[in-house]
Structure 1
């Protein structure tokens, strides 16, 4: 493969219950890209929904590059993405979510990154958070840009915006694609890519708008999300491989299916983060002290807090390095 090679991209997306407006906005942001050499594979993971079927039937007529695959039943995000990867015909896979918006030159800039450095395997970008109505919230600029910094960051959290990623198809297949985790499927993939010596890069530019929804999994399953990432981190530090039944036991043993423990974890993490945000306000001290007392009984929160402080120190180091 040389820098003069023509690049073709397969965009993959899974649709479940997103609104018509969000799906159309997302799809149009991709078919209007400045880079045009792509196919767009959309997986319908809600085949029982007449509304979703109708939306995707109309979307399939928007552009000849769009191909809709309909699952026989709901199989979840990971398996739907794997189905799209298997059906794809090009060497580069670009992720997209059905409620996000890519800037028009996203694909062009990612392809350019691969053209100038064919050693790259996974290329992400910075992103901007938007609300459910498209209102701007804030821009997110990753401190981890280089392969080395990204791999160091992966010891604590994901420094990669999943729907922004473009990745070599051969590397997806080498890893066996996505594992069927209930959440944090992307972090698990990056951990395995790291263990297999793959090369990362983050384009230091906002190229996607990431929508924050009130019913998003990152808001409703904070404990499960943390435990899935924690499980993946344990695998990163060992020579062991992912085992689905082992993960299920890990989630059960740590309270992911206990509504009280889930609520307590969510409350404790939010009180802690709110205290940091309002650190000069005396009104936030009392609930913060109570949260610290909860460390004795909330073991997952205790581990989350320990990981947070380690990540905080790493972010400070990366920020200082960027200034030198």
Structure 2
């Protein structure tokens, strides 16, 4: 039977226990008409390859793709989606946990709202031990999302469910060492598609050192600036002059030292916890020691205005 939903999960160095839990959370969905493609992006992670292969033997909805060498997340996702069979494409990370009704509720939403092309959800942040950290919500209306995209990513990457033609129309992911999801969403909106988020918490999102490092490094804000420049080019000329070499060079030029990483991390933690006094304190220090500090302050204030203006 042809699956309705194709879920793509990339795995690099995640612990096998986390990977197993993530896979189980997809295969045990109440929505059964799905397939899960796990792309192992580290051919030397033999424990992961063995575990996923064993799981695939007991459930033919699970397919395993092992890259011959490390390709990075965007290229790994493109490889997975290139072999997907479903009418709907979904994302999942190898260290997160999906609610059992996630796809049932998201697919139903897309059926009931044909004008929406990509749907995300709210998330529960958990720590490395799986313990509750907090709830993170996202803007829900397409109008607010279109205004907020210039300040931050507007839908949590591993919660996405989209119509297949959305992915195909923008030719999938482009290579960035960070923020490939931000570029993807910007191009989706620039192509005239509409994005929304469910208010329901349908994913447990694991915060750990590796995930925080990628989300907080100073170069990420440089990459986002480049992505916004590409957006402006598309608005003006209908196309952009994207270059993966430019994005990669940004990382080399803005290597983050330990002090600035620590300060930006503390500012991010305060923002996630909505602790405004702490955000002001750590954000001020980050402005002094990190090029990303001011960017985070501007992003926060701009986003809060959009939320107040469109979803109060």
The interval holding the TM-score normalised by the smaller chain is 0.7 to 0.9
Are the aligned partners of 2:142 and 2:195 in contact in 1 as well (CA < 8 Å)? yes
Deviations 1:274-300 (A, max 9, x none): 5983739xxx96x876655x27xx554
CA distance in structure 1 between the partners assigned to 2:258 and 2:225 by the alignment: 19
Mean Cα deviation higher: 305-314 or 26-35: 305-314
Give the equivalent residue in structure 2 for 1:68: 64
Q: How does 1:242-281 map to 2 (within 5 A)?
A: 242-252=242-252, 255-257=253-255, 261-270=256-265, 277=275, 279=277
Are the aligned partners of 2:219 and 2:250 in contact in 1 as well (CA < 8 Å)? no
Give the equivalent residue in structure 2 for 1:199: 194
Mean Cα deviation higher: 164-173 or 227-236: 227-236
Are the aligned partners of 2:286 and 2:293 in contact in 1 as well (CA < 8 Å)? no
Find out whether 1:33 has 2:29 as its counterpart: yes
Find out whether 1:22 has 2:18 as its counterpart: yes
* Alignment counterpart, residue 207 of structure 2, candidates 193, 208, 212: 212
Are the aligned partners of 1:218 and 1:225 in contact in 2 as well (CA < 8 Å)? no
Give the equivalent residue in structure 2 for 1:313: 305
Tell me the TM-score normalised to structure 2 length: 0.88
Give the equivalent residue in structure 2 for 1:224: 219
User: What SS class does the counterpart of residue 30 from structure 2 fall into?
Assistant: coil
Q: Which has the larger radius of gyration?
A: 1
Change (3 A) 1:8 1:290: closer
Give the equivalent residue in structure 1 for 2:237: none
Change (3 A) 1:290 1:203: closer
Give the equivalent residue in structure 2 for 1:138: 134
Find out whether 1:181 has 2:141 as its counterpart: no
TM-superposed CA distance for 1:173, in Å, is 1.4
Give the paired residue count. 303
Tell me the TM-score normalised to structure 1 length: 0.85
What 5-or-longer segments of structure 1 have no aligned partner?
1-5
Find out whether 1:43 has 2:39 as its counterpart: yes
What 5-or-longer segments of structure 2 have no aligned partner?
235-239
CA distance in structure 2 between the partners assigned to 1:21 and 1:167 by the alignment: 28
CA distance in structure 1 between the partners assigned to 2:161 and 2:149 by the alignment: 18
Mean Cα deviation higher: 16-25 or 102-111: 16-25
Mean Cα deviation higher: 82-91 or 215-224: 215-224
User: What SS class does the counterpart of residue 120 from structure 2 fall into?
Assistant: strand
CA distance in structure 2 between the partners assigned to 1:148 and 1:209 by the alignment: 26
Mean Cα deviation higher: 149-158 or 210-219: 210-219
Give the equivalent residue in structure 1 for 2:102: 106
Mean Cα deviation higher: 179-188 or 241-250: 241-250
Alignment RMSD, CA only? 2.6
Mean Cα deviation higher: 99-108 or 55-64: 55-64
Find out whether 1:165 has 2:163 as its counterpart: no
CA distance in structure 2 between the partners assigned to 1:30 and 1:271 by the alignment: 32
CA distance in structure 1 between the partners assigned to 2:85 and 2:63 by the alignment: 12
Change (3 A) 1:268 1:123: same
CA distance in structure 1 between the partners assigned to 2:126 and 2:84 by the alignment: 30
User: What SS class does the counterpart of residue 64 from structure 1 fall into?
Assistant: coil
Are the aligned partners of 1:183 and 1:217 in contact in 2 as well (CA < 8 Å)? no
TM-superposed CA distance for 1:79, in Å, is 0.6
Are the aligned partners of 2:283 and 2:293 in contact in 1 as well (CA < 8 Å)? no
